[in-house]
Amino acid sequence: IILTNQVHSNIVSYVDKNFYKDISSDAMITNRKDILLGILTADCAPIVVLGKKYFGIIHAGWKGLINGIIENTIMKFNSLGETENDLDVFVGPHLSMDSFEVKKDFVDNIRKKVRNYENFIVSKRQKKNFDFTGLIESKLIDLKITNYDISRENTFTNPEKFFSHRYCYVNKIKNCGRQISLVGINNN
């Protein structure tokens, strides 16, 4: 199992035989059949990408998302010869809009990086929420990815099933765990 030091970036690592195991990135791609790629999440979105010859995994937090982690990963797949039609994308459970309340500084960050940012900031009862799922889907559509599936499970409202950093913070739980998401290719 290969894990990367996740830093909420837009950096994609290619894992080959000379891969340096102590690397910082938020996505990995390989065609090696002898390993699994893994990421840890607790509200961020785990995204698995399967191509015809390569596979990868993305840790998409809001910072990486607005700075291009999905775009950079798909561009890396393209550089390896995989087209958008070759790719199947699966987005796992993550923080949903109803639980993703944000403040003005967050909105200012989104405004600088996301065109049509107002489509992803929803005002409810004098509060603002971020449509994390909506922005992920919008980016996949913009990249011409047609084969995708996005989980609608909210990590925050399912503490018996998932770890949620926000749930732990709100409920003053000191040690929040993480889910691990893994992807690999069968040797057969």
- Judged against a pLDDT cut of 90, whether residue 124 lies above it is answered with no
pTM across the whole model: 0.95
Q: What is the pLDDT of residue 182?
A: 96
Q: What is the pLDDT of residue 18?
A: 77
- Judged against a pLDDT cut of 80, whether residue 19 lies above it is answered with no
Residue 158 has, within 13 A of its CA and on its CB side, a CA count of 13
Alpha helices in the chain, H assignment, sequence order = 62-66, 69-79, 104-113, 132-142, 165-170
Residues above pLDDT 90, as percent of the chain: 91
- Mean pLDDT, all residues of the chain: 94
- The structure tokens 């087209």 sit at 83
What confidence category does residue 188 fall into, taking pLDDT thresholds of 50, 70 and 90?
A: low
